[in-house]
Amino acid sequence: MNPIVKYIMQFIVLVLLQVLVVDRISVGYISQFIIPSVYILFVLMLPHTISNGMLMFLAFAIGITVDVFKSTPGMHASAMVVLGYSRPYLLKLIEPREGFDVLKAPSIYSMRKNIYFIYVGIAAFVFHLWFFTVEVMRFSDFHIVLLKTLCSSIVSALLIILIQYLSVKRK
């Protein structure tokens, strides 16, 4: 399949998965602390060779789309741009000695499993920390923000890994 068509389909499927399925998962009182965002997988799956500007633009595009669905003014877009900006640094940080296979997009099959878990975990943490801080917009309730960030990023990372196992074909 043409890679551009593939990425457009991933974009649509992840946005719909986020707003129609993941946002409706409710587990009683603790769901006020668990607000997972799985559409960040879109930015994590983009190829190694993409330029920084394009990466941030695509992150902004998917963020603003989710914002329109959830009626949040620019908050998801802002957190996604942070994620897009920090992704090259994150990949450099966790790069193994022999380097990544830059021809394959980052996924659970093209990277070592424990490295991929760290990659998804840190990315989800950065995204949620920025998102909840912007949402509350002050530092006085930081313990609530931190609790929400921890719970949401753990659940998001688990869901993303689950989606990877269900969708990516083994090669």
Q: How many CB atoms sit inside 10 A of residue 114's CB? A: 9
Should residue 31 be labelled a site residue for another protein when binding is judged by CB under 8 A?
Answer: yes
Should residue 8 be labelled a site residue for another protein when binding is judged by CB under 8 A?
Answer: no
Helix, strand or coil, per DSSP, at residue 148: helix
Site string for another protein, 128-147 (x = CB under 8 A): ------xxx----x--x---
Distance (Å) of CA 98 to CA 31, 49, 62, 101, 162: 41, 17, 32, 9, 27
Among positions 2, 71, 92, 143, the unique one binding another protein when judged by CB under 8 A: 71
Among positions 8, 73, 142, 162, the unique one binding another protein when judged by CB under 8 A: 73
Should residue 27 be labelled a site residue for another protein when binding is judged by CB under 8 A?
Answer: no
Should residue 23 be labelled a site residue for another protein when binding is judged by CB under 8 A?
Answer: yes
d(CA 52, CA 61): 14
In whole angstroms, how close is the CB of 157 to another protein at the nearest point? 18
d(CA 25, CA 54): 32
d(CA 145, CA 130): 9
In this complex, which beta carbon is closest to another protein, that of residue 74 or of residue 113? 74
Residue 166: name the closest of 72, 53, 41, 74 by CA. Answer: 41
Give the interface with another protein as residue ranges (CB under 8 A): 16, 19-20, 23-24, 26, 29, 31-32, 35, 52-53, 56-57, 60, 63, 67-75, 77-78, 81-82, 85, 134-136, 141, 144
